[in-house]
Chains A and B, each alone.
Chain A
Amino acid sequence: MRAWKEFTKGIIKENPVFVMALGLCPTLAVTTSAFNGVGMGLASTFVLLGSNTVVSLIKKLVPDKVRIPMYIVVIATFVTLVQMFMKAYFPALDKALGLFIPLIVVNCMILGRAEAFASKNNLFYSIIDALGVGVGFTLALTLIGAIREILGSNSIFGYQVVEGFQPMGFFVLAPGAFLTIGVLIAIFKAIEKKNKSN
């Protein structure tokens, strides 16, 4: 039963984007469309899964003082793998995400999970935790991407939504990204408060 709890906590209660406000840079930069959001979410989930697995396996071998640089090297290795894989198989997505693929290294969400969870728990729970947080991150990115794509270009995953609707280009640009996430965070907070008072 604990496994299920570890899995679901990353999706809603400790959602990395809306509740913890971690990994904000890729969240805002690449979510101009729902597809880009899914791509970035899956890439980050893969890195998170890899780093949590390795960190959990080597946690007893790593001296305490050099653990952060060690974790960063582990994360950077998996990011390099993702970078090469995307260049080879998804060149269009690679172009759309651009700079933000190498920048997965400094996504504080991944280092945060390694430090706060994987370095203290066994392999099984570390994998569950990575999957839960990864799914939460991917869902958040897809949601933001979908909202911005519907309002900003009147389409979702490339398909037209409403005929004759004049899209608001504002939402595809930088200010639209800030506005969307600001409102979503407020909504999340309001729902949480309502749940608490009930």
Chain B
Amino acid sequence: MSISGLFVIAVSAILVNNFVLARFLGLCPFMGVSKKLDSAFGMGGAVIFVMTIASAVTWIIQHYILNKFGLGYLQTIAFILVIASLVQFIEMFLHKALPHLYKALGIYLPLITTNCAILGVTILNIDEGYNFIQTIVHGFSAGLGFLLALVMMAGIREKLELADVPESLKGLGLTFVTASLMSLAFMGFAGLV
């Protein structure tokens, strides 16, 4: 396996197939936590962290437990349980060992269990047949792509607060139209890899 192969996976997950703007994953936090730049950074950081660890753990479970005992049909149940308990575990660990990081990411961690981007990336890793290293790179860069989209959206929304828009378009409606334009811009990356 070559470094350039890993680079292609990373670029594809961050830009070409951006998880939010091209794959429609993780839209709830994308709409909910993109009002302020600080919270966007916090949420994005927490997602990168959990995605990378969840990718690694679910890969091991799929290949050494589910496949070995022919339990492939339990994938959905097994993965969601692993992610839910992993998030809880990470929260307790950070609270004890790295209180600084916990303070920054703490309130976003419980929300992550129901972020479909996490379950989505773990299932995609298996569907694409990635090996262990590729899985970790894919998980990390998918999180990075999420952070990128979230921070850009938060920056735009902070400016939009001051704009004069029609009453009924305010809030969610305008955010979706903005997301549409961002997604159009990201389509320019198609063909990059």
Residues of A within 8 A of B (CB): 21-22, 24-25, 28-29, 68-69, 72-73, 76-77, 79-80, 83-84, 99, 102-103, 105-108, 111, 173-179, 181-183, 185-187, 189-190, 193
In contact, A183 and B173 (Cβ under 8 angstroms): yes
Residues of B within 8 A of A (CB): 21-28, 31, 73-77, 80-81, 84-85, 113-116, 118-120, 123-124, 127, 166-169, 172-177, 179-181, 183-184, 187
Contacts of A189 in B (CB 8 A): 168-169, 173
Closest chain B residue to A110, Cβ basis? B114
In contact, A108 and B28 (Cβ under 8 angstroms): yes
Known: A24-B27, A80-B77, A99-B127. 20 other contacts (CB 8 A): A25-B24, A25-B26, A68-B113, A69-B84, A76-B77, A79-B76, A80-B73, A107-B116, A111-B114, A174-B22, A174-B187, A176-B180, A182-B169, A182-B172, A182-B175, A183-B173, A186-B174, A189-B169, A189-B173, A193-B167
In contact, B119 and A77 (Cβ under 8 angstroms): no
- Contacts A102-B119, A106-B115, A111-B114; A83 near B76 (Cβ below 8 A): yes
Q: Is the interface of A mostly helix, strand, loop or mixed?
A: helix
**Nearest CB in chain B: distance from A152 CB, A:** 14
Contacts of A187 in B (CB 8 A): 168
CA distance A179 to B21 in the complex (A): 12
Q: Is the interface of B mostly helix, strand, loop or mixed?
A: helix
Number of A-B contacts (CB under 8 A): 120
CA distance A110 to B175 in the complex (A): 24
Closest chain B residue to A193, Cβ basis? B168
CA distance A22 to B27 in the complex (A): 10
In contact, A25 and B28 (Cβ under 8 angstroms): yes
Can you give 8 A-B contacts (C-beta < 8 A)?
A21-B31, A68-B113, A80-B73, A83-B76, A102-B119, A103-B119, A181-B176, A193-B167
**Nearest CB in chain B: distance from A49 CB, A:** 18
Closest chain A residue to B26, Cβ basis? A25
In contact, A29 and B23 (Cβ under 8 angstroms): yes
Contacts of B22 in A (CB 8 A): 174
**Nearest CB in chain B: distance from A43 CB, A:** 13
Closest chain A residue to B85, Cβ basis? A69
**Nearest CB in chain B: distance from A14 CB, A:** 15
Closest chain B residue to A79, Cβ basis? B76
Partner of A182, one of B77, B124, B167, B177: B177
Closest chain A residue to B88, Cβ basis? A69
**Nearest CB in chain A: distance from B138 CB, A:** 14
- Contacts A24-B27, A73-B81; A175 near B76 (Cβ below 8 A): no
Partner of A185, one of B77, B173, B181: B173
Contacts of A73 in B (CB 8 A): 77, 81
Contacts of B80 in A (CB 8 A): 72, 76, 105-106
**Nearest CB in chain B: distance from A174 CB, A:** 5
CA distance A77 to B73 in the complex (A): 11
CA distance A103 to B184 in the complex (A): 25
Partner of B114, one of A77, A99, A106, A185: A106
